[in-house]
Amino acid sequence: MTMKINICKVVLSTLVLGSWTLALAQDASQQNPTPADNTKINQRDRDPNATTADQQKDNRSDRDITQQIRRSITSDQSLSSYAHNVKVVTQNGLVTLKGPVRSDEEKKAIESKAAEIAGADKVTSNLEVQPKK
């Protein structure tokens, strides 16, 4: 019986100590958050001539082109999560690619995939290489 009580005390102490440590770690991370700075990108997208995702056409052929390009990109496991999340916007058969990628190779791979589906003369690339820091 004494052994059972001692084990319960140890387990309870471990839980309390673990909870306290977790609470301290969360407080520390909230005190010094690093704000994301994508101000320049947001300003670029405010340009009335900029192509943004909300301009994606709702006609069948544009949706199909975008879907095929997106599938081609996301199925390539050699690409980074940045590359998997680039924006693909199709308007009247013309494709615009936007967003960060990790390397020139990724940029070329995505541009190639889009050109293969939509046609080389129908792809505008606004992809930006942003290597890991």
Tens of pLDDT, residues 117-131 = 999 999 999 999 988
**Is the domain of 112 the same as that of 97?**
yes
CATH number of the domain where residue 55 is located = 3.30.1340.30
Buried b (16+ CB within 10 A) or exposed e, 85-103: ebbbbbeeebbbbbbbbbb
**Bridge pairing between strands 94-101 and 123-129:** parallel
CA distances from 48 to 45, 52, 59 (A): 8, 10, 22
pLDDT (mean) for 45-61: 66
- Whether 23 has a pLDDT exceeding 90, the answer reads no
pLDDT digits 0-9 by tens, 101-119: 999 999 999 999 999 999 9
Residues 51, 77, single domain; the answer is: yes
- Torsion region of 90: left, alpha or beta (phi above 0 gives left; psi -120 to 50 gives alpha): beta
How far apart CA 33 and CA 11 sit, in angstroms, is 33
Structural domains in the chain (count): 2
Q: Quickly state the pLDDT bin for 12 (edges 50, 70, 90).
A: low
48 and 76 in one domain? yes
The C-alpha atoms of residue 81 and residue 77 are separated, in whole angstroms, by 9
Q: Which two tokens stand for residue 2?
A: 């004494």
- 59 and 101 in a single domain? The answer is yes
- Whether 116 and 98 map to the same domain: the answer is yes
Residues 63 and 111 in one domain: yes
Number of residues that this document lists for the chain: 133
The residue segments making up the domain with residue 122 are 39-129
Mean pLDDT across the stretch 83-98? 93
